[in-house]
């Protein structure tokens, strides 16, 4: 038996999170430790560990996740300025091994994005 990932446990409502959007393929939550005034995570229900582990059969899901990024950007009024980050692998800063896309935006702040990495 494989252990459920942190994000699967959030989807199963075992761990609380602020859910901003959900559909049959993914959820979007607020990051618990935001690195910008807006910091959301787009997470597929399917627990693909890393982007590099996605296979050909996952192409439609990956496209859907990108569409959801645009959709929540419009919903939360950040469509004109946001960054999208995927950390792939521990050496790249990945800490939760369940694919997720970070959406970062400086809405409501005068700061501009620096070159700082997530």
Non-local CB neighbours of 115 within 8 Å, separated by 6+ positions? none
- From the candidates 39, 64, 98, 100, which is the catalytic residue? 100
99 binds ligand AMP (CB under 6 A): no
Nearer to ligand AMP, 31 or 78 (CB): 31
Q: Which stretch binds ligand AMP (CB under 6 A): 42-50, 55-63, 70-78, 88-96?
A: 88-96
31 binds ligand AMP (CB under 6 A): yes
In whole angstroms, what is the distance from residue 104 CA to residue 118 CA?
10
In whole angstroms, what is the distance from residue 30 CA to residue 20 CA?
7
Question: What sections of the chain are H helices per DSSP?
Answer: 6-11, 59-75
Place of tokens 């192409």: 59
- Is residue 100 annotated as part of the catalytic site, yes or no? yes
Pick out residues in 35-64 that bind ligand AMP (CB under 6 A): none
**By the criterion CB under 6 A, which residues form the site for ligand AMP?**
6, 15, 17, 29, 31-33, 87, 93-96
Question: Which amino acids are annotated catalytic?
Answer: 100
């Amino acid at each position: 038996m494989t252990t459920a990932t942190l994000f699967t446990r959030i989807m199963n409502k075992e761990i609380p999170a602020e859910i901003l959007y959900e559909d049959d393929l993914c959820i979007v939550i607020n990051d618990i430790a935001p690195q910008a005034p807006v910091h959301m995570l787009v997470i597929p229900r399917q627990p693909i560990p890393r982007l590099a582990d996605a296979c050909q059969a996952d192409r439609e899901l990956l496209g859907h996740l990108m569409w959801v990024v645009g959709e929540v950007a419009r919903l939360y009024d950040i469509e004109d300025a946001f960054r999208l980050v995927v950390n792939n692998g521990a050496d790249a800063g990945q800490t939760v091994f369940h694919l997720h896309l970070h959406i970062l935006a400086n809405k409501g702040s005068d700061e501009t994005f620096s070159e700082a990495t997530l």
